[in-house]
Amino acid sequence: MPAEQFPNEYPIAIREIRSKSILSASQIYPYVINPYVGCQHACSYCYARYMKKFTGHKEPWGSFVDVKINAAELLQKEILKKKRDTVWISGVCDPYQPLEAKYKLTRNCLQILADNDWPVTVQTRSPLVLRDMDILKQAKNIAVGFSVTTADDDIRKLFEPHVPPIPERVNALAELHRSGLRTYAMIAPVLPGAESLMSMLDGVVDYILVDRMNYHYADSIYKKHRLEDRLTDGYFSWASQKIISDCQRFGVECTIVC
């Protein structure tokens, strides 16, 4: 299994695989596409690490990625057999993690969905999505969202050091929004400093989703940096209320998912 070196000196094992299917049913949207198994972003709080139970990976989450090299080929066949409905890209990996620059799996899937008028919701943490602006603008029914977790980039470095900085994500959202695309921010999880996000997001998103995502994988980081008071129901309620009232002030639709 080849190992490559990626930004932040993070070693990763990459394997090219042929998947059996690509367009899966989802509880969040009708369908989901995950072009990769695993995620180079390696967020400390990531719930998707549960995937390891099913894939047999023994490596730490974030240190392996299986690349579904036949993703587009499968999708082209599967959309002919399934009822057209919204596709979420992606659920348990970032579709624009660094490997996507080389493999273009997300790009090729997006092109097929756009060519066939399938509605799409893209969700990422990476400005690499801007590379596909040509397809995004061609698609008839598309929303592009960024996951953002805090307005404080020092906090971001503690919890998600391998992910593009928050200002880069907001700038990418602004560019997408200026291009006429429907954009959203998914505030999940609600990290310390999330309460100030609307001052950065005003004018670049059409709607906001907030999800506490209370999975406890990152509790040790809260403890190590004495942030436990930000891991409470009280903080979450206060931060959510602040985001809701800022959204009302700015006229942005806001949904608290949980």
The residues of the shown chain that bind ligand SF4, judged by CB under 6 A, are 39, 41-43, 46, 48, 92-94, 125
CA distances for 59 relative to 12, 18, 105, 166, 222, angstroms: 9, 20, 23, 28, 24
Q: Are 68 and 55 a contacting pair, CB within 8 Å?
A: no
Min dist CB 41 to ligand SF4, Å, is: 4
Q: How far apart are CA 59 and CA 162, in angstroms?
A: 17
CB nearer to ligand SF4: pick between 42 and 155: 42
Q: Are 175 and 216 a contacting pair, CB within 8 Å?
A: no
CB nearer to ligand SF4: pick between 50 and 238: 50
Min dist CB 115 to ligand SF4, Å, is: 27
Q: Which helix (H) or strand (E) covers residue 114, if one does?
A: helix 105-115
Residues belonging to the chain: 258
CB crowding 159-187: b at 16 or more within 10 Å, else e: bbebbbebeebbbbbbbbbeeebebbbbb
Q: Strand, helix or coil at 160?
A: coil
Q: How far apart are CA 106 and CA 244, in angstroms?
A: 32
Beta-carbon contacts of residue 61 (< 8 Å; ≥ 6 apart):
38, 39, 42, 46, 48, 49, 52
Min dist CB 227 to ligand SF4, Å, is: 19
Min dist CB 146 to ligand SF4, Å, is: 11
CB nearer to ligand SF4: pick between 66 and 94: 94
Place of tokens 């348990």: 92
CB nearer to ligand SF4: pick between 39 and 227: 39
CB nearer to ligand SF4: pick between 46 and 143: 46
Min dist CB 249 to ligand SF4, Å, is: 29
**Residue among 146, 97, 141 nearest 120 (CA):** 141
CB nearer to ligand SF4: pick between 93 and 200: 93
CB nearer to ligand SF4: pick between 42 and 247: 42
